[in-house]
Amino acid sequence: MVQIRLLGGFEVRAPDGQAVHIPVRKARALVALLALRPGRAITREWLCEMLWPEVRSEQALHSLRQTLLSLRKQLPSSLYVQVDGGITAENVPDVRKVGADLIVAGSAIFHAEDPLAAARRIRAIATGADGAASA
């Protein structure tokens, strides 16, 4: 299990006990925001508002993707990343790029006119079977 200490100094430890160095302040803030909301859905928009309130939404979303990608490279490869909430066929490629291991797309599927077709489309995009270049 990854250990995250927020009080008394920020610290992240890998499952083997090794310290994980996260040098960028916004990346540390992102880890803290996620750690403080375990098991709860967090929208990308909310994260952007918390981390980049002064930046327009498109730039903030880009910064969030870059920060997530950076964190994915710094955190242990054994860490399992699940993205749940706000998934659409349009943003699945971005979720793939940041290295999600599991994508949950319930609303996009069950609110679709044709849930089976929506599920197949999202699965094809998520697995790269749609012909899009893999991250």
Are 60 and 9 members of one domain?
yes
Are 4 and 36 members of one domain?
yes
Are 87 and 57 members of one domain?
no
The parent domain of residue 38 ranges over 1-78
At 134, is the pLDDT very low, low, confident or very high (cuts 50, 70, 90)? very low
Question: How many structural domains compose the chain?
Answer: 2
Q: Render 30-65 in DSSP notation, one character per residue.
A: HHHHHHTSTTS---HHHHHHHH-TTS-HHHHHHHHH
Are 70 and 90 members of one domain?
no
Average pLDDT over all residues of the chain: 83
Are 21 and 73 members of one domain?
yes
At 135, is the pLDDT very low, low, confident or very high (cuts 50, 70, 90)? very low
Q: Which of 48-52, 54-58, 70-74 has the least mean pLDDT?
A: 70-74
Are 58 and 93 members of one domain?
no
At 35, is the pLDDT very low, low, confident or very high (cuts 50, 70, 90)? confident
pTM: 0.62
Q: Which of 54-58, 76-80, 126-130 has the least mean pLDDT?
A: 76-80
Are 59 and 100 members of one domain?
no
Are 129 and 110 members of one domain?
yes
